[in-house]
Amino acid sequence: MKTFNEELKQHIAVMQLAERCSESVESAANLLITTFQNGNKILLCGNGGSAADAQHLAAEFVVRYEQKRRALPAIALTTDTSILTAHANDFDFDSVFVRQIEALGNSGDTLIAISTSGNSKNIIQAAQTARAKNLNVIALTGESGGTLIDIATLTITVPSIITARIQETHILIGHYWCGVIEENLNVSQFA
């Protein structure tokens, strides 16, 4: 049985390697700030743990991260069970996020597409639809980046093939974005 210390060492090793992502993480932060400053919104999607991360980050944007500030427009496309089940039943699961992007996405919005493999069919279709509607797409993936790397406006590939370590790094990145956005909005026209 693996010990907690072994798990912790693996986590720390991936977090140290994540420094390779710094430039793209900061570029994505700037894109998100611009999205909000221009009066646009953030859409987020993912599957499983990545769906939970999408919901987590949307909540941080809408409610708050660390500072009291105005609500920021963000929607996790993973939360409406009626839409998700109706679409999966009437059409298919691969396009479950497409329909929501068609309904809610506008030019200048940003989609945060989360897939540890970068190859989830429904996330790929969501990114393709978002790009076709002139949304920016930030992809959060694992080591290879998968197919998403060719679709996204900006891709952050966590240097790991271990799903848990990738997801842990994704949430750190998301928390960084929340903090930077709050700092910038407090000194901007939206303070």
Task: Give pLDDT tens digits for 138-185.
Answer: 999 999 999 999 999 999 999 999 999 999 999 999 999 999 999 998
pLDDT at site 189: 46
149 close to 139: Cβ distance less than 8 angstroms: yes
pLDDT (0 to 100) of residue 37: 94
Reported confidence tier of residue 9, pLDDT bands at 50, 70, 90: very high
Q: What is the pLDDT of residues 82-91, one digit of tens each?
A: 999 999 999 9
Other Cβ atoms within 10 Å of 65 Cβ, number: 19
Distance CA 173, CA 156 (A): 9
The mean pLDDT value of the chain amounts to 95
User: Could you tell me if 31 and 138 are in contact, meaning their C-beta atoms sit under 8 angstroms apart?
Assistant: yes
| pLDDT surpasses 70 at 188 | no
For the chain, domains (ranges, CATH) are 4-186 (3.40.50.10490)
